[in-house]
Structure formats: C-alpha cells, structure tokens
A and B are shown apart, each in its own frame.
Chain A
Amino acid sequence: MDMKEKLSALLTKALEDIDQSSLVKEIESIRVSYLGKKGELTAVLKGMKDVPGEERPVIGKVANEVRDEMTQALSSKKETLEKEALEKQLAEETIDVTLPGRQMKKGQSHVLTQIMEEIEDLFLGMGYDIVEGTEVETDYYNFERVNLPQNHPARDMQDTFYITSELLLRTHTSPIQARTLEAHDFSKGPLKMFSPGKVYRRDTDDATHSHQFHQIEGLVIDKHITMADLKGTLELLAKKMFGDDREIRLRPSYFPFTEPSVEVDVSCFKCGGDGCNVCKQSGWIEILGAGMTHPSVLEMSGVDPNVYGGFAFGMGPDRIAMLKYGVDDIRQFYLNDQRFLAQFKRKG
C-alpha cells in the first residue's frame, strides 16, 4: 500500500469513527488518536521519509487535505453533539410552569390607613402639612377653644369620655387646630394643615356606632380665603376619593367652630345620582362637615379675625371606607379579622 492509499484508508476510518461517536468527550479522544503527537496520521506521516523526493509534494498535499478533512469533521461533529446535548438537557429540565410559585408571606395596611394615606397624599401635594396630636386632651382645648364653652347646648352632640373633670379622650381632632393655630407664625406664610387620628365618643358599639373611630380634619388660614375656596377644595377631595365625575352639594349645618357651617354631600358613586340603597334613594351621600373658621376660634388663638380667615373641614375615614367598600359593620375595623384585612390588599 502506498502512502496515498494509507492516507485515504486512514481518512475513511477516521470519518467512520467520528460519525459513530456520540459524546463530546469521544471527539477529543478521536482527535488525539489521529491528529495527536502519537496519533495515527502522525505515524503515517513518519513514512514520508521513504517517499521518493518528486512525489513528496503531492503526498504532502494529500496529507494536508486529509488533516483538514479530519479536523473539519471533528469540529462539525462536536458542534452537532454539543447542540444535541444542550437540547437533551433543556428537555430534561422542563418543569410544570403552572405549579404554584414560592410564596412570600406579605401583609397589608389596614383599610382605614389606606384611606387616610390617600387623603394625606392629596393634601401633602397641595401644600398642607400633617400635624398629629394626643388622644388624651384637656376639656379646654377639646371644647372651649373650639367655641364650645361649658354648658353650651352643642356639647350634647358629643358624649364624652372624661378621665377627670379637666382631662378627656378627644371627641374630634379639632383641638390640634387650636394648638397649631396659636403656635403658627403667620409672618412665615399661611397655615395649611390637616390632622388624622383616633377620636372617641360615648357610644354603645353596634353595626353603625363605635366608641372609637377616626377623623381627618383640614384647616387653612390666610388673608383672603373664601367660601368658594372651601368649595373648590372639597370638590377636589370628592373627585380624588370617589371618582372624577363626582359632584358635591353644600347644605347648611352647624358646628360651633365654623360659620357658615355646611354638610357636604357627594353625588352617589354607586348609582351616579339616580338613587340606590347606598344613598338611600336620594342620589347624595353625606361625607363631610366643613365651614369658615369662626372668628371666636381665631381670636382665642391670638389670630386677628379682621385680618385672617379661613376654612376647616372634617371627615370620617371609617364612614368613607364603609361607603366605598360596602362594609356594613363598623366593628369590623377594630376586630382585625385577617379574612377582613386581607380583602383590601389591592393597590390601585
């Protein structure tokens, strides 16, 4: 067998070996066994020295071709095998993507906090600051400073938990207004504040009454504040809380610390005003109390009512939550049943 035939036979054998290989690591050993230092091609080429000089270029060329073909076959087979292996791996790794994911326990804010935070964010954006106060208050700040002196008939409207004759659980968040008003430096600009918090009334707990509930009150005092400004502010609030197409209407009412005083109705968000069980067929839902700050309240805080004036408004997050979500028992807010709390986890 001459060199040429040997090379050709070697190539055939190598191609066969390559073709039959089925693992990537076999390819490497085939490469070594043919093309390595001690490989078969190397061994054959050692016979070159016996080849006559004039044939050497021809044989050399054939040898190079054989080497190239082997290398080519090896790399293409390797690529195929690698691809097959990857496909096999991926197939093996396939899982049921519909099985439940790993659960992270998560909690949520109380629905009342959510309501309050929504209102807080609206008013923060409008330049109001949040001012909090204590839940135990003095009779003086809770009543007298909001224009409810001893023996005022309107004290009946608010049955009070007294601790001593001087101390009580605040019946509204209004004492914070008095405390903030007297401390405010009007030379540094207007006062725009609101105060969210717990308040207390002597009420027997039932589906619609709770001895503890929440309130949010807002107050703006500046020169040249009008009732129209109050109306505009409340309209904004109603739209934010209950939807853009809500309207409001004002009805005369009475609060000792504002005059004029109004109750504010919002057009029913359920029926749009046609009448339903939420609005008791009236098309309107009472949601807020408001008014222009009474001159006596300003005077008692050392603010000149001839120069400054403003408005105040207050609302009950408990009531808003009940209306908005159809909660039919106010006690649910304070029992903290997880099945109740978890219903308000939707954001947005």
Chain B
Amino acid sequence: MRVSVKWLSEYLDLSSVSPRDLADEITLTGIEVDDVTIPSETLQKLVVGEVLTAEKMEGSDHLNVTTVNVGEDEATQIVCGAPNVKAGQKVIVALPGARLPGGFKIKKSKLRGHVSNGMICSLDELGFSDSVVPKHAEDGIYILPEDAVVGESVLSYVGLDDAFIELDITPNRADALSMRGVAHETGAILSQKPQFKSIELTEDTNETIENWVKVTVTDGDDTPIYKMRVIKDLTIKESPLWLQNKLMNAGIRPIDAVVDVTNYIMLEYGQPLHAFDYDALDSKDILVRRAHDKETMVTLDGQERQLNPDQLVITNGEIPVALAGVMGGENTHVTTETRTVALESAVFDSTSIRKTAQRLNLRSESSSRFEKGINKATVEEALNHAAALIADLGQGTVVTGVASVTHVEPKSVTVESTIDRINRALGTELIEEDIIQVFKRLGFEAEVSSEQVKVTVPPRRWDIAIEADIIEEIARIYGYNNIPSTLPVNETVPGELTREQSLTRFSRHYMEGAGLSQAISYALTTVPEAKAFSLESGEPIELDWPMSEEHRALRKSLISGLLDNVQYNVARQTKNVSLYEIGHVFHNQPGETMPKEVNHIAGVLTGTIVDNTWQETEQTVDYYAAKGIVEGWLEQIGLGDDTQFKPAQDIKGMHPGRTAYILINNKVVGFVGQLHPSVALERDLQDTVLFELNMDCVFGIEQEPLLYTSIPKYPGTSRDIAFVVDETVLHEEILHVMKEQGGKWLSSIRLFDLYQGEKIEPGKKSVAYSLSYLNPDATLKEEDVNGDFEKLKQALIDSFKAEIR
C-alpha cells in the first residue's frame, strides 16, 4: 500500500513529523515500511510552460520545433518529439539542469541544427508507470489544465508535491489496506485521534430505491452484506485532476469519474465497490448466487469465462453480470454513454473470492481486499460517500434509499485478560496506567482494574479476537524495545547430539580429512537424474506442478547431483575435484502416506589424488582411492570387520568391471566404483570414481560395546607366501580361505604384491601375502606355525589350484 502523506494529513496533523521519521515510527510499532519517496528531492527545475508555437521540423518526420513561455522574459525554443504537441497547450517543461528519475539530466542541446533549451515531458518521464497514466496520456506529452500558472513548479499539478510511504502489509493487518486504516494506525503512534469529514449526501426525494432495484442473496454465508444504490441522470466525464493524481500516485490508472470514484473510495475505506450500467442490467432484480456448472460470462476484459459452482456471481435475475468481488461483466460496465449507475458495496466470503481469483488468475486490488477482510462497519458509509461523489462529479442525482441484504451486523469484540497475565507474557512490569494509555492511543474502549483488563475492539480491527492479540497490541504500542532482556529460567541440562548426529558430524570431518569438500546440491532434479545410480528401484517422486523440467523430481541418489557439480567445476578449468555430500534421498512407498526419506552419504573424485610437485609424481584417482576412503570410514565407525565388497556388474552408469557393492553383515548398503567410461565421456569427464552409502542403514547397525583387548605380551612370528592363481580369483575369496584355514594363531593378512604380465602365463596373476601369527599366551617360534602354514598352502591349492612359489 502506497500512502500519500498529503492525503494522510487530511485526517491527522502531521506538521510536526517528517515523512521519514514517520516511516521509522510506523516500522517500529506496526507495519514494515519498504520505502519512502519524496519526489521534490529529486525532481527539480520542472515548470509549467505554455506552447506558443509548434511547427514540424523540416527534414524530420516526427520532430517539432516549439517556442514555449516558461515564465521568463523571453520565450524559449524546445525541440519536441511528441505527436500531440500543439500551440496553446500548458505543458510540463524540464529546464536545462533538471533531473528526471533514473538520474537523467537535462542539458541545452542541438537537434539537427535547432537549439533545444530543455524538454517537454510526458508523465512517463516523470516516473509514472505506463500502467497508471490515463490512456490519452500514454503516448506523448502530458497536457496540464488551462489555468496552470506558467513558470510555477509542476509538482503540485501532478500530485508530486508530496511524500509517499510504501507499506508492506502482512495478511493479518488488512485493516491498514485503506487510508482510514492507516490513519488509525498512525494516530495510535502519534497519540492523535484521526478526524474524518462527514459526508453530505443529498437524495432525490422523488425517487425511491424500491422502484429501481431489488436485491436478493441466496446464501448469507457467501454474501454476508450486499448493498446497492442508484445514481441517475449522469454525464460521465474524466474525473478532476485532484482525483486522477491521487489514483495515479497510489498506482491506479484513472479511467472516468465513476470508475475513479469507486477506486478512490476503495483506497479510502478499503471497501471495494462495483458500478454497473443500470440500463444495461436490463432488470430491476439483482440476485447474488453461485454460478451454475459450465455457465459462461464475458468479463470486462473481453474474455469468455467458464464458471463453476465454487464461484459467486451477481446476476440480473437471469444471467451473470459480474464475478462477485473479482471482475465485472463486459455488457454492464460503465461507459461514457452510461446515464444511470447501480453501485454495489458488499462483503463476500473470502474463500470463495480467493478461489475464483486464483482459478481465473484474476488478482486485483478488490479481490485481494475481499480475501483479507473488509471493515463491516463502513460498507454503507463507503457506498454513500461514493454515491455522493459520483452524483457531484457527474451532475446526477442519487435515488433515495439503499437496496440491502444484511446477514451480519458489524460487532465490537470484547477480549479479556489481567495485568498479571500481560506482564507474565511479556516479562514486563506494566501498571494499570500503562495499559489504559495503550488502548486510548489505539482508540479501543478499555476497562482496566487491578484484576481485570477488558477491551472492546471495534469492527475496523477484525484481526483482534483473543487475548494474545491484545497482548500483541500492548507490546507493539508500548514498544518492543522497552521490553527487558532475560534468559529463560529453567533447569538447564546441556543439549546433546544423538548418536546419528555425532556420527554425521564425524563423517563430515572424516571426508574432509580425506580431501573431499562438502557439497550441497539441489534435491529437485530431472526425472532421469533423480533415479540414476539409485539402488532402489521404482520411479522417483514428482511434483504435482513443477516450475521446470530441471527441478521436477526428488533425487533417489546423491550421485547425479555430485556429478553435475563435478562437471560444472571441470568445465571451469578445475580439473581435480573431490566432493562429498550428505543429504536426503526420497523413494516412493506404495501404500504409505509418506515417502521413504533416507540419509545418504556419497562422494565423487576426478583428476588427481596426488599432484605433480617437485617431490611427488602425479597420481590420478582410481577405484582403490574411492574404496580406501569408504574402508577407512567404515573402519572408524567400527564396521571394518563386518564389511565386504562384491563385484557389481549391473549398476547402470557404472563401470561393470570396476564397481563393487558394499555389504555389511551380508546386506547391501551401497556401492563404490568407477563411472562408466561412456557416461564420463558424455559429461566430458576424465576417469571419475565415486561411492554412495545409505547412512541411516550404516548408523543403524547394532554394534557390540567397545571393550579393551590386552596388548600382546609375547612376540609373534610371520610368514610370507607367494602363489599364482587364475586372475578371476578374488582377493576377498583368498582372504576367506586363509581366515578359515589359517589356524588359530593367524592374526592378520596383508597383500604386499600383485603381478600380472608377461612374466607369467596369460589369465593368471601372482600374489604375495604376509601372514602374521600371534599366541596371546606364549612366545611363538617359527617352527610353531609350520604345521598351520602347510595346511594353509594345501587349502590354497585345493581351493584355487594355486601354484605356490
């Protein structure tokens, strides 16, 4: 809501407060101010000029050379490009040195050899948006009234000798969507009671409303209040300048006197009005009802609308003539030919208006006010005020009486509390007098005694209904900044991270120690990316009404997002990228209300893990780099011994020979591997390795409590063994046999060599392991393990046809 300070001064004495100070006060006590504009601070050297001559410039199809009287001794020459410039007009002249909005500075200039001492301006050039200037002023310069005084500042002629406070009104404070509402609010701040002039409405005693119109409402919940007046014998013209200026400065385009008055009254009272061409109604019956299914009407924007029974319509007893509170009909709208106007002032059900406006995409100043609420106490006052003004401006008369259906009477609300409860809520020590003062400023009646606070809230503040509401009023008018600062007094047990939260923090630190930086990607992605790399089958969860294909579905895996990040980096010359992410993935759960939402951890590495330096030779990432990170992480969580890796040839997008499932206690919890070369190529990536695990699953595995095992007291012994096996034999299979058949003292096994190449048969590999033996109760000598070692050799021969070397 853009508030004109000049308009506001019609109700309050603002002479002792500057617009900016006032704006600060409003912000601190009630409503956030977005902006304060004072046009005279920036618009200077703009004067009224009179065009004395205007001639087409030779050799130009649009320029005119004019002489203009700007109140100086001699007329000045100005070149003007507007098609509508004519001798005799009073116009807006920007003299050399003037500044226009956007920092545009006017200088003396020469156009095709003709001197131009300034510029004749349009409203657009003064900063008015095209959508608020009168239609006839849209193209070309703005013509001032004939009695404008040459040489005077132009600001007062366009309503810019003012200051404007832009209010950002929250939904609960719809009462401030009107000048009167703002006046009450500002009055409370300044401890002034706003003064509103009474309306002088003269009715035509020869005509009574009963002979003109009858109003019927089918449902009092849909239409709690409906009132109509008739104004006849009108001549509809443009409205006067003061009215046009008020509207333009509030962001509304002036149309004609009738429409302008309805908008003006809406701005003053917050009460939307609608004017019908009475003769076009072609009926004396107004019936407000729900639309029939598939009923149609043409709205005044010329569009045919198909309606449904959710929508409320005004009809002439037969067919719809307006969409209640949203938009009028084309056939009944007021034109310059209109002689008689039927003027509607009503309250409609906010939900119905909201639904209609939303469905037809027709949000307007009116509909949004109906949605947020209307002051029920001024429905008729606003109607009377509008009728009087229309009659006055159009030289018509107002038919006696109001056609009215009222299902709701405006009522004051009584809210009770106690001083003690108020102080207990706010942490203050307010006394009776403080509280009386607050309600006096707000203009609410209040009875305050030591035990009881009883407040009577007028209908204009329909947002107030419960105790918390009046406590809020006290807090803001008393001043939040006068409330003390304390800390809650209650038993303070230190907060604690849950096991999962601590483990998550640990995991982050681990990954960062391993060289990976944390990424946070978008959870919404394309459908193909959402399901790529997920070990869970099923389609991803899609939005009902996505804004774009790019953010349509919820990810089922973190990998695609990380790959996007890697790709983004690589494309920007960051060749070595190591990122990890911890976040939710989402799976459909047929039959359940909520989807399955799981915490995952994933990482992607590309480029080098060791850079070329003066000391080190470059080492690019490989499968084992990723696997090492995963192994280390699981080991630190205490699951190293329970983890297994199994070849995974079937994960789409992954290298079939370089990918493994990660199993804990024989259950798959994730995978690690190399990105499929063709996927890497598509994304323009070098070798890229990655991993992803279901973190909830990993953290959820029950673990034995950690117990100390004594440090070995006796030395052990070790043996090395080297042998050749088929290359298809997996390390984990060999480990398994060794662990099973290695004897009771075998304590650890370490692979220390692996060879494949020309020195051995094709299809074979040579491996070498170091085996450590330990007896916790005695020193082990080499010969003590001879038997076990021989048995192990034999087991390898039996299991894998190993050739021991």
Chain A residues close to B by CB (< 8 Å) = 99-100, 102-110, 112-113, 117, 123-130, 132, 134-136, 138, 151-154, 156-157, 161-167, 169, 189-190, 192, 198, 200, 202, 204, 211-212, 220, 222, 224-229, 231-233, 235-236, 249-254, 259-263, 292, 294-295, 309, 333-339, 341-342
Q: Which one of A124, A162, A232, A334 contacts B494 once the chains associate, using CB atoms below 8 Å?
A: A124
25 A-B pairs in the complex with CB atoms less than 8 angstroms apart: A103-B611, A103-B613, A104-B515, A105-B609, A107-B580, A108-B518, A123-B495, A124-B495, A130-B501, A134-B597, A136-B597, A138-B594, A151-B351, A151-B355, A166-B593, A169-B543, A198-B523, A198-B584, A227-B428, A231-B486, A251-B32, A254-B171, A294-B468, A334-B521, A334-B522
Q: A105-B609, A211-B551, A337-B568 are in contact. List 18 more A-B contacts (CB 8 A).
A: A109-B512, A123-B495, A125-B494, A126-B492, A127-B493, A128-B495, A198-B583, A200-B524, A226-B426, A227-B425, A228-B486, A229-B486, A231-B427, A232-B486, A260-B468, A260-B475, A336-B568, A339-B574
The stretch of B23-31, B130-138, B285-293, B384-392 that contacts the partner chain: B23-31
Taken together as a complex, chains A and B put the C-alpha atoms of A134 and B488 apart, in Å, by: 29
Is B171 within 8 A of A105, CB to CB?
A: no
Say if the beta carbon of B572 comes within 8 Å of chain A: yes
Say if the beta carbon of B682 comes within 8 Å of chain A: no
Q: Take A134-B584, A136-B595, A162-B544 as given contacts and tell me if A224 and B424 are in contact as well, using a CB distance cutoff of 8 Å.
A: yes
Q: Which one of A109, A164, A212, A294 contacts B523 once the chains associate, using CB atoms below 8 Å?
A: A212
Is A228 within 8 A of B541, CB to CB?
A: no
Residues of B within 8 A of A228 (CB): 426-428, 483-486
Taken together as a complex, chains A and B put the C-alpha atoms of A166 and B542 apart, in Å, by: 14
Tell me how far the C-beta of B597 lies from the nearest C-beta in chain A, rounded to whole angstroms. Answer: 5
Q: Take A105-B609, A108-B518, A134-B597 as given contacts and tell me if A232 and B425 are in contact as well, using a CB distance cutoff of 8 Å.
A: no
Residues of A within 8 A of B546 (CB): 161
Is B468 within 8 A of A190, CB to CB?
A: no
Is B371 within 8 A of A153, CB to CB?
A: yes
Is B27 within 8 A of A251, CB to CB?
A: yes
Is B481 within 8 A of A127, CB to CB?
A: no
Is B480 within 8 A of A106, CB to CB?
A: no
Residues of A within 8 A of B616 (CB): 102
Interface centre among A138, A166, A212, A294 (most CB of B within 10 A): A212
* A-B pairs with lowest CB-CB distance, top 10: A228-B427, A226-B427, A105-B515, A254-B170, A250-B480, A107-B517, A260-B472, A336-B565, A336-B519, A232-B485
Q: Take A233-B487, A338-B574 as given contacts and tell me if A134 and B371 are in contact as well, using a CB distance cutoff of 8 Å.
A: no
Residues of A within 8 A of B611 (CB): 103
Tell me how far the C-beta of A262 lies from the nearest C-beta in chain B, rounded to whole angstroms. Answer: 6
Is A129 within 8 A of B496, CB to CB?
A: yes
Q: Which one of A136, A222, A229 contacts B554 once the chains associate, using CB atoms below 8 Å?
A: A136
Say if the beta carbon of B104 comes within 8 Å of chain A: no
Residues of B within 8 A of A164 (CB): 544
Is B543 within 8 A of A162, CB to CB?
A: yes
Residues of B within 8 A of A102 (CB): 613, 615-616
Q: Take A164-B544, A250-B481, A338-B574 as given contacts and tell me if A227 and B497 are in contact as well, using a CB distance cutoff of 8 Å.
A: no
Residues of B within 8 A of A220 (CB): 488
CB-nearest residue of chain B relative to A249?
Answer: B481
Residues of A within 8 A of B491 (CB): 189-190
Say if the beta carbon of B232 comes within 8 Å of chain A: no
Say if the beta carbon of B579 comes within 8 Å of chain A: yes
Say if the beta carbon of B377 comes within 8 Å of chain A: no
Taken together as a complex, chains A and B put the C-alpha atoms of A261 and B579 apart, in Å, by: 40
Is B171 within 8 A of A253, CB to CB?
A: no
Residues of A within 8 A of B354 (CB): 151, 153
Taken together as a complex, chains A and B put the C-alpha atoms of A233 and B372 apart, in Å, by: 33
Residues of B within 8 A of A253 (CB): 32, 170
Interface centre among B469, B522, B593 (most CB of A within 10 A): B522
Is B518 within 8 A of A127, CB to CB?
A: no
Is A100 within 8 A of B614, CB to CB?
A: yes
Task: Mark contacts of B506-532 with chain A using CB atoms, 8 A cut-off: 1 yes-contact digit, 0 otherwise.
Answer: 001001111111111111100000000
Say if the beta carbon of B476 comes within 8 Å of chain A: yes
Interface centre among B471, B493, B523, B541 (most CB of A within 10 A): B523
Taken together as a complex, chains A and B put the C-alpha atoms of A211 and B523 apart, in Å, by: 10
CB-nearest residue of chain A relative to B373?
Answer: A153
CB-nearest residue of chain A relative to B578?
Answer: A107
Is A127 within 8 A of B495, CB to CB?
A: yes
Q: Take A251-B27, A260-B476 as given contacts and tell me if A156 and B171 are in contact as well, using a CB distance cutoff of 8 Å.
A: yes
Is A211 within 8 A of B544, CB to CB?
A: no
Taken together as a complex, chains A and B put the C-alpha atoms of A106 and B517 apart, in Å, by: 8
Say if the beta carbon of B545 comes within 8 Å of chain A: yes
Q: Which one of A99, A108, A152, A231 contacts B485 once the chains associate, using CB atoms below 8 Å?
A: A231
Taken together as a complex, chains A and B put the C-alpha atoms of A138 and B487 apart, in Å, by: 34
Q: Which one of A108, A233, A337 contacts B569 once the chains associate, using CB atoms below 8 Å?
A: A337
B9-34 at interface with A (beta carbon < 8 Å): 27-32
Say if the beta carbon of B350 comes within 8 Å of chain A: yes
Taken together as a complex, chains A and B put the C-alpha atoms of A169 and B350 apart, in Å, by: 26
Taken together as a complex, chains A and B put the C-alpha atoms of A124 and B498 apart, in Å, by: 11
Is B30 within 8 A of A252, CB to CB?
A: yes
Say if the beta carbon of B284 comes within 8 Å of chain A: no
Tell me how far the C-beta of A41 lies from the nearest C-beta in chain B, rounded to whole angstroms. Answer: 47
Taken together as a complex, chains A and B put the C-alpha atoms of A128 and B522 apart, in Å, by: 29
Is B483 within 8 A of A163, CB to CB?
A: no
Taken together as a complex, chains A and B put the C-alpha atoms of A159 and B327 apart, in Å, by: 24
Is B476 within 8 A of A252, CB to CB?
A: yes
Tell me how far the C-beta of A50 lies from the nearest C-beta in chain B, rounded to whole angstroms. Answer: 59
Tell me how far the C-beta of A299 lies from the nearest C-beta in chain B, rounded to whole angstroms. Answer: 11
Residues of B within 8 A of A151 (CB): 350-351, 354-355
Tell me how far the C-beta of A313 lies from the nearest C-beta in chain B, rounded to whole angstroms. Answer: 12
Taken together as a complex, chains A and B put the C-alpha atoms of A228 and B422 apart, in Å, by: 12
Is A107 within 8 A of B524, CB to CB?
A: no
Residues of B within 8 A of A126 (CB): 492, 495
Taken together as a complex, chains A and B put the C-alpha atoms of A244 and B475 apart, in Å, by: 27
Interface centre among B350, B471, B472 (most CB of A within 10 A): B472
CB-nearest residue of chain B relative to A229?
Answer: B488
Say if the beta carbon of B490 comes within 8 Å of chain A: yes
Q: Take A108-B518, A129-B495, A338-B569 as given contacts and tell me if A259 and B468 are in contact as well, using a CB distance cutoff of 8 Å.
A: yes
Is B487 within 8 A of A225, CB to CB?
A: no
Residues of B within 8 A of A110 (CB): 517-520
Taken together as a complex, chains A and B put the C-alpha atoms of A22 and B371 apart, in Å, by: 105
CB-nearest residue of chain B relative to A113?
Answer: B518
Taken together as a complex, chains A and B put the C-alpha atoms of A292 and B466 apart, in Å, by: 14
Is B547 within 8 A of A249, CB to CB?
A: no
Tell me how far the C-beta of A97 lies from the nearest C-beta in chain B, rounded to whole angstroms. Answer: 14
Is B524 within 8 A of A212, CB to CB?
A: yes
Taken together as a complex, chains A and B put the C-alpha atoms of A129 and B616 apart, in Å, by: 47
CB-nearest residue of chain A relative to B170?
Answer: A254
Tell me how far the C-beta of A341 lies from the nearest C-beta in chain B, rounded to whole angstroms. Answer: 5
Taken together as a complex, chains A and B put the C-alpha atoms of A100 and B611 apart, in Å, by: 13
Taken together as a complex, chains A and B put the C-alpha atoms of A204 and B82 apart, in Å, by: 39
Residues of B within 8 A of A136 (CB): 541, 554, 586, 594-595, 597
Taken together as a complex, chains A and B put the C-alpha atoms of A312 and B164 apart, in Å, by: 34
Interface centre among B350, B372, B425 (most CB of A within 10 A): B425
Tell me how far the C-beta of B171 lies from the nearest C-beta in chain A, rounded to whole angstroms. Answer: 4
Residues of B within 8 A of A250 (CB): 480-481, 483
Is A135 within 8 A of B486, CB to CB?
A: no
